[in-house]
Amino acid sequence: MKIKIRYTIFLMLIFSSLAFSQESSLIPFPNKISQKGGVFLISAETKILANAPAAIQAAELFNSWLNQTNGYTLPIVASVVRKDRYIAFSALTDTSEKYLLKVRRKYVLLEGGPAGLIRGTSTLLQLAFQSLENKGQISCLKIYDQPKFGYRGVHLDVSRHFLSKEFVKKYIDLLAIYKMNTFHWHLTDDQGWRIQINKYPRLTDVGAWRSGSMSGPYRNQKFDSIPYGGFYTQSDIREVVNYASQRQITVIPEIEMPGHSLAALAAYPEYSCLGYVKEVGRGWGGYEDVFCVKDSTFTFLEDVLTEVMELFPSKYIHIGGDECPKERWSKCPNCANTRFENNLRNDEELQSYFIQRIEKFLNSKGRQLIGWDEILEGGLAPNATVMSWRGIEGGKAAVRSGHQAIMSPGTHCYFDHYQGERATEPLAIGGYTPLEKVYAYRPIPDSLTKSEQKLILGAQANLWTEYMYDEKQV
């Protein structure tokens, strides 16, 4: 109940800031909008006209959101009479995300394909909520809208601090309200493995739990001794993926490798270089223990990814690939043997070999690999997509070599940074990312050619949870 109340209050706070001007305060702002004379009155007596399955699904989603924000739902009917005020959801066969929204004195028409209807529903909800400030009145207008970028993502780290399935679903609702179409679910890291893998039960029996956590700023290196953990069953995963699909959001899982893997190695230390790992990580920094580059490790990872792909129908699988320390590799005889057998000159090329081998496996299953921009080091895997987080140079390098990229620079897209004066905000990891800076960000660098620009798929915001201790703070 507390989560639902907080979520409702959060929505109301968001939308109350927009109520000053209905047509000018829509987020994101539509491609084309024209104001008409008059108003449409929306109230509990308004009806929803919907017949086709896609239209009914969008109408039911609108009702769900409307109940959260306005406190009532509307009857969904197959026909209306002349005296009725109604909102018509009209389903087209279009596979794009574009939609048409007309608000007239007597009716509202929302028209689009399955994805377009959901995007238009988000706009309609914003208008409906803003109408509370105007005695239920929505200004008559016409909106034509479609997104510029095919990839509009938001990330959530559940490894550092675990978040309930119910909260993840509410997080997805917030993404949908702002017309995001991708949810990047960071499921594994040094501090916890959060996804059930049937073939390797110790991943959650051991890897999902740590003996304590860092408390206070990283520089203090202080820890509590409170056991902490949690994980999602495969049933939970399917439920979340289905929930997102109903909102036309794709869920991309991230299974970290070769670094950021201490939780997995605590469960199965035989895939480390030393053959021994003490425990799941308690601190927020990185760790020297990473996956050993040997055949048995790839067998293990392919088994894991096979189960992951059975749960996630997404085109992309994210494998991390970032911040991989190489101290263990440099002294490991198994890694040395892999370097020798594959004519690799150094550990950077060994990392590239690791990523390319995983990519070949994913490609053989009809999937594509995404990784953070460190996967450029030592040579980029042939079909990989780069997620550029250390500024924009990684994205530029990727597209200039003919690869696709998603822009996610920490300067603009890291939502775990401070958003105001540090003295007035809870402890954060650092940085400064105010709202206006995020909203003004444009993902395509001016220095790219037109052909290179086409390889920028879009942008993504990232939310890491080292210093986000509960769902309210997230």
The closest alpha carbon to 402, from 385, 425, 390, belongs to 385
- Tell me if 297 sits within 8 A of 232, measured CB to CB: no
Q: For the chain, how far is it from start to end, CA to CA, in angstroms? A: 17
**63 is written with which tokens?**
């009702």
The one catalytic residue in 184, 260, 412, 417 is 260
The one catalytic residue in 60, 94, 302, 323 is 323
The one catalytic residue in 23, 145, 157, 189 is 189
Does 189 participate in catalysis according to the annotation? yes
Q: How far apart are CA 264 and CA 232, in angstroms?
A: 15
SS3 58: helix
- Residue 286: is it exposed, middle or buried by C-beta count within 10 angstroms (0-12/13-18/19+)? middle
**Beta pairing class for 188-189 and 209-210:** unpaired
**Beta pairing class for 214-215 and 222-223:** antiparallel
The closest alpha carbon to 320, from 337, 338, 305, 335, belongs to 305
Q: Which residues pair with 460 in a beta bridge?
A: 153
Q: How far apart are CA 398 and CA 388, in angstroms?
A: 9
**403 is written with which tokens?**
């690869």
Does 323 participate in catalysis according to the annotation? yes
Q: Which residues are catalytic?
A: 189, 260, 323
